[in-house]
A and B are shown apart, each in its own frame.
Chain A
Amino acid sequence: MTHVVIIGNGVAGITAARALRVREPAWAITVISGESAYHYSRPALMYVFMGHMRYQDCKPYEDDLWERENITLVRDWVVAIDAERSTLALHHGAPIAYDKLLIATGSKSNRFGWPGQDLPGVQGLYDLMDLKALYEASETARHATIVGGGLIGIELAEMLHSRNIHVTLLVREKSYWSNILPPGESALVNEHIREHGMDLRLETELEEILPGRDGRVARVRTKDGTEIDTQIVGLTAGVSPNIDLVRDTAIRTNRGVLVDWSLRTNIENIYAAGDCAEIVREGEERNLLQQVWYTGKMQGETVARAMAGEDVSYDPGIWYNSAKFLDLEYQTYGQVPARAVDGQTQLWWQHRNGKRGVRLVYDTKTKHFLGLNTIGIRYRHRVCESWLREQRDIEFVIANLGTANFDTEFFARDEREMAVSFREQMA
């Protein structure tokens, strides 16, 4: 009987375990995680902290599922992989032997060597350990400083704000998340953050984190010399693959665990999927590193098929993503560069209330639709995806924007106004 061991009970590992069970009813499947007893939804941690949900509400499956599907859950940390003997050393329990191994260890928060970054009270927001630390720190904190203007930064800001802790956001760029968001969207978010009473400081870089007498963080100093009293520092300058476990083994790594399109590593019976996997793109400048929820899920599906012996190649599909900046929802489909690219045209419409906006991108010459962003408006995934896949003409997209609207019934509809604005911009 084949024994599959999966390191990590995040979305990639768990999706793989369940998909594998469907294909291989007789195999033994073990999932190891030191972090939590059961799989939980990582993006939901913020809602647990803010008191929207209990921790148990962020578990996507009922606990009896694992027994029913005969998937063994082990709560322990793997401390070493012995690829030659196909065994794992655990921190607590006895070593575990495997026939096939899946590494799905996820990511960890980036730390860029700022002075003071290891002080108590300085943390990222990624896992349960971070959440627990934040719980404790926020009991007494009055002020928090968040470094990095990305998606996790704004979530952390919202969380702390919900506990009436005043938040300062230090953003290196001229505008919030402006390496990803085009200026229009980014400006709406800047405005929205300030409306919530948060202190958004643009073009401000962290210089140093300073301790107080108790050894915990007490102040931060920015590059322009300003000092801010603070009891919590959130470091949210992105995440990188969590490959500490793999680094000194025969498994090849770069930024992540290197895998081919079937998500196989260089070792025959070892695979990797999710945030920690870096897919080698032969002949291309950069490898593929995807670190969002749905790619973890898709890679989990793919790797299960590969482990079951199918000849399968990971298909990343058409890129999309969504997020929420405080009360502003954001969706993106296809490719929307932060700055206009030669040969492409960007159209931007913004509602006068400053809470809604849509950007369309198309190829200037062929008029092919390339991507869109929405702020404060929900669009229909399948419709946007089909426009991109079928390389629809931009005119067609503008004329049919209404069919993509996914907003709640009775919400104000702006597609007509948008179409007028877009056509004016094109003229």
Chain B
Amino acid sequence: MIELPILNYSFDEEAAGFGEPAKRPDEKRRVGEYVSIALIAIGAVFLVLALLGIGTPATLETSGDVARVWTMFAASFGLLVVGGLLYSVFRYKDTTPGIKNDGNTFRNIQRRGLLAWGLGVFITAFYIVLYWFSELRALGMPDVFATSTRLLDPLSHALRGVAADQWFVYGFLYTILVSVFGVRMILKYRHNRYQMIRTCSVMFFQLGFAFILPGLLKAANQPEFYFTYFWPLKPNYAWPGDTHYILYKGDVLNMVGVFMIAFGVFAILVLTPVLTYFFGKRWYCSWVCGCGGLAETFGDPWRQLSSKSNTAWKFERVIIHSVLLFVILTTVVLWLNAYIDDRILGSSAYWVKKVYAFMIINAFSGVVGVGFYPLMGSRVWCRFGCPMAAILGLIQRYFSRFRITTNGDQCMSCGNCSTYCEMGIDVRAYAQRGENIVRASCVGCGVCAAVCPRGVLKLENGPRTGRYEADAGGPLDQFLHDLTHAPRKHK
């Protein structure tokens, strides 16, 4: 007879097992962290006051008014940003460089607790209001858009030469989130140069190409063009109405607009396939794209929430390619319609556009895409919806040199890689078979390789030999195989 270990058979290691410790010794916080939190709190108070219309004049009539708004701007957003940056600095400054994931599955806000739901609802509500109910006064609510645009008017004037509107407010919020959380990401991964450079890249493109440059264009009386977005992620850059608006000023062809449209065409037809062939879709998704930029910075605390189940993978394949078909069809219909003088659809062409904009751009990429960060992880839109990601993914899967290399048989199946894959790829399923990871959805963020405690994974651009499981053939055979087989991660 042997001595039996003391674990009860009914012990459910998943449900009852190893969650948040009931009582944790106090965390050692540095004084600087408290100071930062205080700054954030003061900034928040001023922001609420400003949103309630207190402290800012209704119009900017005198330079004194402008100075007052700048002061209020500094006291609200200024303190929030400074406090946010300092918080990350003090949080990480005395730690040794290395993986900082302690407690991620314990914190309420990171494990779908009440705080996470609260934040999810808040962001979701923000997007709903932004897109569809920005006339808050008519609904009997405080008109935070009017007050927040007032708060940002001086900045908007300085940058764009015009007053702020709700889209400027949105762009501003987006940019400061990417910047503040970008600094957090850099400090958190300061042992990993790939993460640092990549984060600098998304911050640069957000700040420079999605905030400052469009503003300067506006100031120069040009279209507010985003050089980091092209069809099909920003489909209206290739739809009849918007292209016309960009190309012409009145009846005169605008050469700046011509350059913009030409760049957009070049970007999707030449840049995208060439860069994706050499570097994989990461050149865009985790280095340039604004949606990716927000996911990689503000979204980082929730990357572990993406579902790795085989079922989620099935949904992903169907939905993302449906959206791609939808945008292609919409584009074709709109151009046909424009060419034959509205004879196919007549005025309903307008509605096709409206439906796409409502369902995909607003509801999917905005409300669900960001609002669900704290519940479904940071890449819901990128994984299930983005048609640009779909195209990049197809190229990556069948015509690219990029893959994640598995280092021999060294995987010990711990699952850190899969857990922290924001795209929900079960990286471990491949690594534990000693197989390289060649997946359409991989955005190349490199976090799997960073968190691997045994150095098993490496993002590489290498020769294309041995990429396909249906090894008998090449990319076409693999494509046909994938088309006719449901995805299955365990072999």
Contact = CB atoms under 8 A, between A and B. Distances in A.
B7 A162 contact: no
A326 B98 contact: yes
B455 interface: yes
Given A53-B419, A128-B13, A164 B5 contact: no
A408 B18 contact: no
B351 interface: no
Nearest to A293: B412
B146 interface: no
Contacts of B4: 34, 77, 79, 91
Interface stretch (B44-52, B192-200, B376-384): B192-200
A226 interface: no
Interface string B61-79: 0000000000000000000
B449 interface: yes
Contacts of B197: 410
Most chain A beta carbons < 10 A, residue from B7, B309, B459? B7
24 contacts: A41-B413, A43-B412, A43-B453, A44-B413, A47-B101, A47-B453, A51-B105, A52-B102, A53-B419, A54-B105, A57-B415, A77-B5, A79-B4, A128-B13, A162-B103, A195-B96, A322-B455, A329-B455, A378-B458, A382-B408, A406-B455, A408-B450, A409-B460, A411-B193
B101 A324 contact: no
Nearest to A64: B310
A61 B490 contact: yes
B322 to A, nearest CB: 25
Given A44-B413, A139-B21, A140-B23, A57 B419 contact: yes
Given A52-B105, A76-B9, A142 B407 contact: no
Interface stretch (A130-138, A261-269, A359-367): A130-138
A292 B242 CA distance: 62
B2 interface: yes
A212 interface: no
Interface in B176-230: 191-194, 197
B254 interface: no
Interface string B1-30: 111111101011110011111111111100
A52 B455 contact: no
Contacts of B13: 36-37, 55, 128
A56 B428 CA distance: 14
B18 A135 contact: yes
Nearest to B98: A327
Given A140-B23, A326-B96, A57 B5 contact: no
Contact of B409 (A34, A47, A132, A294): A294
Interface string B294-317: 000000000010000110000000
B418 interface: yes
A47 B414 contact: yes
A63 to B, nearest CB: 10
B113 interface: no
Interface string A311-333: 00000000010111011010100
Contact of B194 (A192, A195, A409): A409
A34 B446 CA distance: 38
A65 B405 CA distance: 25
Contacts of A47: 101, 414-416, 453
Contacts of B12: 37
A52 B21 contact: no
Contacts of B191: 327
Given A327-B97, A327-B191, A410-B197, A60 B428 contact: yes
A126 to B, nearest CB: 10
A385 interface: yes
Contacts of B451: 52
B104 interface: yes
A58 interface: yes
Interface string A91-118: 1100000000000000000000000000
Interface in A165-212: 165, 192, 195-196
A139 B23 contact: yes
B157 interface: no
B96 A327 contact: yes
A252 interface: no
B453 A75 contact: no
A380 interface: yes
Contacts of B450: 408
Given A41-B415, A165-B25, 18 more contacts: A44-B415, A44-B416, A47-B453, A49-B18, A51-B20, A52-B99, A53-B304, A56-B14, A57-B419, A129-B6, A131-B18, A132-B7, A139-B23, A164-B27, A164-B28, A294-B409, A329-B455, A406-B405
A408 B460 CA distance: 9
Contacts of A82: none
A55 B17 contact: yes
Contacts of B23: 139-140
Given A163-B25, A165-B25, A55 B410 contact: no
A324 B455 CA distance: 9
Contacts of B449: 408
Contact of A50 (B14, B101, B432, B490): B101
B454 interface: yes
Most chain B beta carbons < 10 A, residue from A43, A58, A163? A58
Given A80-B1, A406-B458, A327 B99 contact: yes
Contact of A44 (B407, B408, B414): B414
Contacts of A92: 9
Contact of A62 (B11, B101, B490): B490
Contacts of A41: 412-415
B283 to A, nearest CB: 13
B259 interface: no
B415 A380 contact: no
A378 B191 CA distance: 14
A245 interface: yes
Given A62-B309, A196-B96, A244-B3, A408 B21 contact: no
Most chain B beta carbons < 10 A, residue from A76, A128, A378? A378
Nearest to A39: B413
A54 to B, nearest CB: 5
B106 interface: yes
A225 to B, nearest CB: 29
Most chain B beta carbons < 10 A, residue from A47, A129, A382? A47
